[in-house]
Amino acid sequence: MGVPRSPLALAALATVAVPGLDAFDVRRPAHPGTDFDIAVVIDAMRRRWVVRAPVNAAAGAALEAEVVLLDALGDAAEKDGLPFDVPRPVGFAHLPEGGRATVHAEIQGRTLSLDELAPGPGLSASVGRAIAAIHELSPSIVENAGLPVYDAETYRARRQAEVDEAARTGRVPATLLRRWEERLEDVSLWRFRPVVTHGDLTNERILVRDGAVSGILHWGDACVADPADDLSSILVAAPPDATDSIVEAYQLRRTELIDPHLVDRALLVGELALARWLLYGVRSGSADIVEDAVGMLEDLDAHTRAMAEPEAEPSLA
């Protein structure tokens, strides 16, 4: 990875990408990410533009596929197929090392704070409807962008391979590992209809405005896969009393939903994310990440064992 581009360098790319753009100010976003250099450019008319430049060849290739996807998503949004906006590139600037930077108008809204989610028909329901709207999109949108398409059995096998690799590290508690393996071997749990998924739908990807979802960002991990993936991080991290409202609104927005194990699978996917974090630490050689993952795995194991223990009978003495 090279030296990050400065905000001024990114502003210069924006002026090349969008003819007539007169940059007045530039600043870093709140959540810049790691695969792209990103800046928000404010022009002389106070319009706000986001410029993204990939930091390596892999990010550049992902960006090219994302551009095709975003064009199709933008068309869907205009036809009221999506209840939120998506970033639509309006210009490109070629980079000296290859690839290109993109510029899109900034979507109005602020990053979703999970503490805002509460039971009822408000923001929680809006989040549920937004996720459902993604899952109602035609899989051809992803296929035409050259992004991955999985069937249910292939996707279960991918999850199993991740758990097997995590097990070989020797750092996953044995009781937790057995529980994961049992659930992955339960074929009935994995009977789902693959749908278009965002692929990395954390709260940082969701923008809200006036009490509703206004935009969803960073579509580079989109694929056709398990709908539980997009619900996972939200259901795991949201206040417990808000999850029913999210799921109910999601189910009402879906036109075809025969998946009785959706929520169970989403919660399991949230647990398996810790295994992927452990593997990332091992592959990158980061002892800090490995220890962080191991600590969270041990906490999860202790919590699940405590929840499984029967309550002690009251003493008659």
46-99 per-position pLDDT tens digit: 999 999 999 988 888 888 888 989 988 888 777 767 889 999 999 999 998 888
Percent of the residues in the chain that have a pLDDT greater than 90, as a whole number: 72
Q: Is residue 314 part of a domain?
A: no
Q: Domain ends where: 82, 106, 130?
A: 106
Q: Which pLDDT score, from 0 to 100, does residue 14 have? A: 94
Do 54 and 131 share a structural domain? Answer: no
CB 42 within 8 A of CB 24: yes
For residue 192, the domain's CATH number is 3.90.1200.10
Domain count of the fold of the chain: 2
The Cα–Cα gap between 135 and 143 comes to 14
Do 229 and 216 share a structural domain? Answer: yes
Q: Is residue 317 part of a domain?
A: no
Q: Is residue 68 part of a domain?
A: yes
Q: Which helix (H) or strand (E) holds 243?
A: helix 243-253
| Domain of residue 73, residue span | 21-106
Q: Is residue 11 part of a domain?
A: no
CB atoms within 10 A of CB 204: 15
Do 273 and 215 share a structural domain? Answer: yes
Do 132 and 93 share a structural domain? Answer: no
Do 168 and 35 share a structural domain? Answer: no
Q: pLDDT tens digits for 167-199?
A: 999 999 999 999 999 999 999 999 999 999 999
Do 298 and 240 share a structural domain? Answer: yes
Q: Domain ends where: 68, 89, 106?
A: 106
Do 204 and 67 share a structural domain? Answer: no
CB 235 within 8 A of CB 263: yes
Q: Is residue 35 part of a domain?
A: yes
Q: Domain ends where: 75, 106, 137?
A: 106
Instruction: Determine the 3-state secondary structure of 153 from DSSP.
Output: helix
Do 41 and 85 share a structural domain? Answer: yes
Do 280 and 192 share a structural domain? Answer: yes
Q: Which amino acid is at 305?
A: R
Do 141 and 44 share a structural domain? Answer: no
Do 216 and 97 share a structural domain? Answer: no
Do 267 and 169 share a structural domain? Answer: yes
Residues in CB range of 177: below 8 A, 6 or more apart = 163, 166, 167
For residue 80, the domain's CATH number is 3.30.200.20
Q: pLDDT tens digits for 142-163?
A: 998 889 999 999 999 999 999 9
Q: pLDDT tens digits for 207-264?
A: 999 999 999 998 989 999 999 999 999 999 999 999 999 999 999 999 876 788 999 9
Q: Is residue 3 part of a domain?
A: no
